[in-house]
């Protein structure tokens, strides 16, 4: 951690002062603040850059800041550390996990790979560094289709850990992907009943969805894409009313970039997470962001051996995602 003299100040109770103090600590640390769209509005407003998983990985890689304060989930902060080992990567809460990461433990993943010799492991970025290290290429929701299309036609492919994204990619590419049975607790259980009601109440509304949603919902969607792709779509579209089938944190940027349009969050159903809010993303708050900038922790640590092993498939992703489209 850089040698800055930061006092152990208590968390300001006044929200305006809290934001001011976060800005001050951020400047003292020389920190770049990266945030995902599913963070609370006030965190997004403090960020130097807000993006989807691929854009955040690229921003972390090109950053020259001594410190990256990563407001997203842990696997995203790990990616920042893997791509930019010189930077101290702070995350407000180490409890900011992901149900997809939890569903795919490295030992199980290793066995799965052994059961399919000769198959290439294409792994969604929503996994631990240890699983990345056991993979051939990483993908994000915005790069997966392009990357899979670059693999030889007869190449058997394992896809982990999101079975819904995997099934969507099967339909899009026509490739016979072998799927790991994981799912996102938020996207898996949007309510189809609530969707039917919203469609009746808002017949002109355009349905936009993240590919982590199940097929039954995606089949009804007018547009499917990563968080950034959805944001771009609603901003550029001639339509002015949208039902949003992804975490509603993204509506903050939609309202900023397309004022005057209407964004209706699709409610969650009755599953494990009975709402549409990502419980992991919301572990980060203004208070623990303040503490993490004040204390220089929690921070992402990993062995150099693990970092280098996870770096390979991430670099392959960045290369394949940037390749010219044939
Ligand atoms: P994006 O890469 O589309 O931002 O997705 C990240 C994520 O965790 C979606 O649930
Ligand atoms: Fe993971 Fe789902 Fe949260 Fe995205 S929304 S971080 S996939 S649990």
Q: Is 143 in the pocket of ligand 1 (CB under 6 A)?
A: no
Q: How confident is the model at residue 273 (pLDDT cuts 50, 70, 90)?
A: low
pLDDT number for residue 1: 47
Q: Is 276 in the pocket of ligand 1 (CB under 6 A)?
A: no
Q: Three-class SS of residue 247?
A: coil
Q: Is the pLDDT of residue 189 over 70?
A: yes
pLDDT number for residue 269: 81
Residue 218 CA to ligand 2 centre (angstroms): 17
| Ligand with an atom nearest the CA of residue 268 | 2
pLDDT number for residue 8: 79
Structure tokens at 166: 């995997």
Residue 102 CA to ligand 1 centre (angstroms): 16
Secondary element (H or E) of residue 32: strand 31-36
pLDDT number for residue 2: 46
Q: Three-class SS of residue 136?
A: coil
Ligand 2 atom closest to 280 (CA): 3
Query: Ligand 1, from 60, 125, 126, 277: best to mutate by most atoms within 8 Å of Cβ?
Result: 126
- DSSP secondary structure code for residue 325 in this structure: P
User: Within 13 Å, how many C-alpha atoms sit on residue 270's CB side?
Assistant: 1
Give the span between the Cα atoms of 257 and 234, in whole angstroms.
Answer: 9
Q: Whose CA is nearest to atom 3 of ligand 2?
A: 278
Ligand 2 atom closest to 212 (CA): 7
Residue 275 CA to ligand 1 centre (angstroms): 17
Q: Three-class SS of residue 239?
A: coil
At 87-126, the pLDDT tens digits run: 999 999 999 999 999 999 999 999 999 999 999 999 999 9
pLDDT number for residue 135: 98
Q: Is the pLDDT of residue 76 over 70?
A: yes
Structure tokens at 24: 């001050």
Ligand 2 atom closest to 72 (CA): 6
Residue 212 CA to ligand 2 centre (angstroms): 9
pLDDT number for residue 83: 98
Q: Whose CA is nearest to atom 2 of ligand 1?
A: 53
Structure tokens at 145: 């289709």
Mean pLDDT, the chain, integer: 95
Q: Three-class SS of residue 33?
A: strand
Largest CA distance in the chain: 60
Q: Is the pLDDT of residue 51 over 80?
A: yes
| Neighbour count for residue 323 (Cβ, 10 Å) | 10
User: Within 13 Å, how many C-alpha atoms sit on residue 106's CB side?
Assistant: 9
pLDDT number for residue 271: 59
- DSSP secondary structure code for residue 250 in this structure: G
At 31-45, the pLDDT tens digits run: 999 999 999 999 999
Task: Order the strands of the 241-245 sheet from edge to edge.
Answer: 223-224, 206-209, 241-245, 262-265
Angle at 281 between CA 280 and CA 287, to 5 degrees: 105
Mean pLDDT of 191-210: 96
């Amino acid at each position: 951690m850089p040698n800055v003299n930061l006092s152990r100040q208590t968390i300001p109770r006044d929200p305006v002062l809290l934001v001011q103090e976060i800005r001050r600590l951020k400047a003292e640390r020389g920190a770049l603040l990266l945030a995902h769209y599913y963070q609370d509005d006030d965190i997004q407003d403090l960020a130097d850059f807000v993006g989807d998983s691929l854009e955040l990985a690229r921003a972390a890689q090109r950053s020259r800041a001594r410190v990256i304060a990563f407001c997203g989930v842990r696997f995203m902060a790990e990616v920042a550390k893997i791509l930019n080992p010189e930077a101290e990567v702070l995350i407000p809460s180490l409890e900011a996990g992901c149900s997809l990461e939890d569903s795919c433990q490295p030992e199980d993943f290793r066995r799965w790979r052994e059961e399919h010799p000769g198959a290439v492991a294409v792994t969604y970025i929503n996994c631990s560094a240890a699983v990345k290290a056991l993979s051939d290429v990483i993908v994000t929701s915005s790069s997966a289709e392009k990357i899979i299309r670059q693999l030889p036609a007869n190449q058997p492919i394992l896809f982990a850990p999101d079975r819904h994204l995997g099934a969507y990619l099967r339909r899009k590419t026509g490739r016979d992907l072998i799927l790991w049975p994981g799912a996102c607790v938020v996207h898996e259980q949007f309510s189809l009943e609530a969707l039917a009601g919203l469609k009746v109440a808002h017949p002109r509304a355009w349905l936009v969805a993240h590919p982590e949603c199940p097929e039954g919902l995606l089949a009804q969607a007018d547009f499917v894409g990563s968080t950034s792709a959805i944001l771009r779509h609603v901003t550029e579209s001639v339509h002015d009313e949208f039902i949003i089938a992804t975490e509603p944190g993204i509506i903050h940027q939609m309202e900023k970039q397309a004022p005057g349009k209407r964004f209706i969050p699709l409610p969650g159903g009755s599953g494990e997470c009975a709402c549409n809010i990502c419980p992991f993303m919301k572990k980060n708050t203004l208070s623990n962001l303040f503490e993490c900038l004040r204390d220089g922790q929690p921070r992402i640590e990993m062995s150099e051996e693990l970092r280098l092993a996870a770096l390979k498939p991430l670099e392959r992703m960045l290369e394949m995602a940037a390749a010219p489209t044939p």
